[in-house]
Structure 1
Amino acid sequence: MSAPDLSQPIYAALIGNSGIAAALPTYAGAPTVFTARPTPKDATYPMILAAGDIAVSDQDFINNPLPVFVRDISVFGQNDTPAHVRAVETIALAVRDLFHRQRASLSVPGWNVIDITCKGPIVGDTDDDTTVHRLVSLTVRLTQ
């Protein structure tokens, strides 16, 4: 079996969390959570972007695949008021709390989640000073 794409399980976990979903506006009838770049130009802030793995490695045993994925989850918002910045920070902390050491938070078809650890949230890069970005890095270990 090939390595899974974590996009759909991460998306489902994020929009399935009532606190996170309630903190986000909607786009096309769903919370502003995106798993691919570019995000829609008309989507409003705050938004979450969980697009693609930044690292994939293996800690395989002889006959037991054990892929390890690292994926950044970014929370973006407007940097025009302290309340907007705090909202982004609050959402990023909720993302961390959802996943950190909570292996049941992800359901990956055909795989078992061994563990999930998070780093962050930390300050992420932006293109300008009008946007705020917080970044949570997930490390997900799976087995079959």
Structure 2
Amino acid sequence: MNAPPLDVLPGLRAAILAVPEITSRLAPYNGSFSVHTRRPVPDNAPFPMIVIGPTIARTDDDGLSDFRPTAVIDINTYGPQPDRYRDVEAVAERIYGLFHRQASALEVDGYAVTDIRCTGPSPAPVDDESRVGRRVTLTIRLYAKP
């Protein structure tokens, strides 16, 4: 079976941008908000920001005649310390609530989302003590639409 290309990042970004409790705590960027799906983020990207992905791990639970991939992806929230510390924590908590056990929160072209499990928020790596970061890790199970 030939499965469609798997790209969950646009769907994750769209779901996050649809939640005012998240976007109200982010910096504006290029007519939208500082939500990025690639690393490194642009040099001019402002904080607080969200960085989605890349995919950490990808496995599958294929059946005889279907394709059921699983993707593990981090969503990291960063902001300046100490003045936006609480905003970073609140955004990470809201991301967890948005996706944990909420398969209908995500749309992926060519796939049905069957399950999403989250862990975190936990500390995300930062370059120095002037930034705070929180990470939510998503395990996303999908089913390729026939």
Same fold (TM over 0.5): yes
Residues 71-100 of structure 1, C-alpha deviation per residue, up to 9 Å, x if partnerless? 00000001133xx11110000001101100
Residues 122-141 of structure 1, C-alpha deviation per residue, up to 9 Å, x if partnerless? 01111111110100000000
TM-score when scaled to structure 1?
0.94
The residue type equivalent to 2:26 in the other structure is: L
Aligned match for 1:13, one of 7, 15, 19: 15
Shift of 1:64: 1.2
**Aligned partners of 2:47 and 2:79 also within 8 Å:** yes
Give the aligned partner of residue 25 of structure 2. 23
Give the aligned partner of residue 107 of structure 1. 107
Map of 1:111-122 to 2, 5 A cutoff?
111-122=111-122
Give the number of equivalent residue pairs: 142
- For residues 28 and 131 of structure 1, what CA distance do their matches in structure 2 show? 22
User: Is it true that 1:42 corresponds to 2:44 in the alignment?
Assistant: yes
Structure (1/2) with the larger helix percentage: 1
Sequence identity, in percent?
A: 37
TM-score when scaled to structure 2?
0.93
- Structure 2: 5+ residue stretches without partners: none
Give the aligned partner of residue 138 of structure 2. 138
Give the aligned partner of residue 123 of structure 1. 123
**Aligned partners of 1:3 and 1:67 also within 8 Å:** no
- For residues 37 and 28 of structure 2, what CA distance do their matches in structure 1 show? 15
- For residues 70 and 138 of structure 1, what CA distance do their matches in structure 2 show? 6
- Structure 1: 5+ residue stretches without partners: none
SS at match of 1:132: strand
Moved over 2 A (4+): none
Give the aligned partner of residue 6 of structure 2. 4
- For residues 3 and 64 of structure 1, what CA distance do their matches in structure 2 show? 14
**Aligned partners of 2:4 and 2:110 also within 8 Å:** no
